[in-house]
Amino acid sequence: MTRQRVRAFDWLRGLAVLVMIQTHSLALLKPELRAGDFFARLQWLDGLVAPSFIFAAGFAMALTQVRAAAGGGSRSRRIKRTLRRLAEVLAVATLVNWAWFPIFREPRWLIRIDILHCIGLSLLIALPILALLAPHPRALRWSSLALAATAFGLSPLTEPIKAPLGHFLNVNTGSVFPLLPWGGYVYLGAAVGASKTTREMVMTLVGLAVAGVVIWIFTAQVAALYPPHNFWVTDPANHARRWTQVCVLSIGLLAVERTWKTIPVWFIEVFGTSSLAGYFFHEMLLFFRIRGTCFEAVWGNRLSWARYWPVLALLVAFTFALTWLTDQVYRRADAAISTPVPSTAG
């Protein structure tokens, strides 16, 4: 099995960060401009951000677990490292909720599931399964596909569930990215990550895309299998369309991975390898008011399309600078933590 980092999925995450910044920055547009064909096309593109993030997260976890099992090294060290990273994700998720909601006066906001909570909790649930099956990649792939099918298939049926459990299972209690259906993308990504070669990755992606197209074609029939539900949130056929597009994009990125080594790729990779920092900093710059100032306070609901793009570029530049600095600090701290202390025993 190759030990080389699969940069294509870093690019997938990095592109998702860039599109996510653009998505959230639409709050700066004049309200009357949030309509029309061009805006609708942006909304279609924006709808791929969360699937790409969660898909790439599941891929990375499965890939590292399978490689650790195949390499004969310390799997417990790998699991501890993974748990530490998941703790970081959930800590930042809680910090973001604290920034927007009075979590100390109203603790119910702590279980409002947004994208970071979804990724952290979904991966935490998946970790024992992936670690157990990591020595058997084929079993891991098929088990992941079965779990993905279960997550997407059950999602429309969980809409009536009330709080507090409903916070984790549907959007009707105020959560934005509940574990169903969004956690299903973790297992789709894990099915791809359980590959020994790039060829296996591509074949799995092609298989997922073909299955997605078939389900997509039968959208009406799939929707009819369920009681009335929120099609754009929980319908399996709607998610089949999304994962098909993510898989096609991933195949394209894998195809260019060996030859595309220009500066823009480095720019994207910084966002891809430090996506947690990219998410946090763009949200704070955009919406969190320090002394009454943030991007939304200055430009919210005021920009024309002509003014929107330069302001968006400025937000991306600030976010990138803070993300890059965080990445440098994190790499040094991570290296210090990972370096074994020399023994002083004689």
Asked if the structure places residue 127 within a domain, the reply is yes
- For residue 308, the model assigns a pLDDT of 97
Q: How many domains does the chain have?
A: 1
Q: How far apart are CA 60 and CA 65, in angstroms?
A: 9
- Which alpha helices (DSSP H) does 111-163 contain, by range? 115-133, 137-154
Q: What is the phi/psi pair of residue 290, to 5°? A: -110, 115
Asked if the structure places residue 346 within a domain, the reply is no
- The DSSP code sequence of 278-334 is HHHHHHHHHH--BTTBSHHHHHTTTB-HHHHHHHHHHHHHHHHHHHHHHHHHHHHHH
- For residue 196, the model assigns a pLDDT of 87
Q: What is the pLDDT along the chain (346 residues), one digit of tens a residue?
A: 456 789 999 999 999 999 999 999 999 999 999 998 999 999 999 999 999 999 999 999 999 999 988 875 567 888 888 999 999 999 999 999 999 999 888 888 888 999 999 999 999 999 999 999 999 999 999 999 999 999 999 999 999 999 899 999 999 888 999 999 999 999 999 999 999 899 999 999 999 999 999 999 999 999 999 999 999 999 999 999 999 999 999 999 999 887 776 667 889 999 999 999 999 999 999 999 988 899 999 999 999 999 999 999 999 999 999 999 999 998 887 777 665 545 444 3
- For residue 345, the model assigns a pLDDT of 42
- The DSSP code sequence of 20-38 is HHHHHHGGGB-GGGS-SHH
Asked if the structure places residue 103 within a domain, the reply is yes
What lies within 8 Å, CB to CB, of 92 at 6+ separation is 116, 276, 279, 280
Asked if the structure places residue 306 within a domain, the reply is yes
- For residue 148, the model assigns a pLDDT of 98
Query: Domain containing 59: what range?
Result: 7-338
Q: How far apart are CA 308 and CA 29, in angstroms?
A: 7
Asked if the structure places residue 343 within a domain, the reply is no
Q: Which of 278, 288, 289 is nearest to 322 (CA)?
A: 278
Asked if the structure places residue 35 within a domain, the reply is yes
> H or E stretch including 55?
helix 49-71
Q: Cβ(200)–Cβ(254) under 8 Å?
A: no
Model pLDDT for residues 301-346, shown as the tens digit of each residue: 999 999 999 999 999 999 999 999 999 998 887 777 665 545 444 3
Asked if the structure places residue 2 within a domain, the reply is no
Q: How far apart are CA 113 and CA 170, in angstroms?
A: 9
- For residue 34, the model assigns a pLDDT of 92
Asked if the structure places residue 120 within a domain, the reply is yes
Model pLDDT for residues 246-302, shown as the tens digit of each residue: 999 999 999 988 777 666 788 999 999 999 999 999 999 999 998 889 999 999 999
- Which alpha helices (DSSP H) does 162-262 contain, by range? 166-169, 179-182, 184-193, 198-217, 219-223, 231-234, 236-256
What is the C-alpha end-to-end distance of the chain, expressed in Å?
39
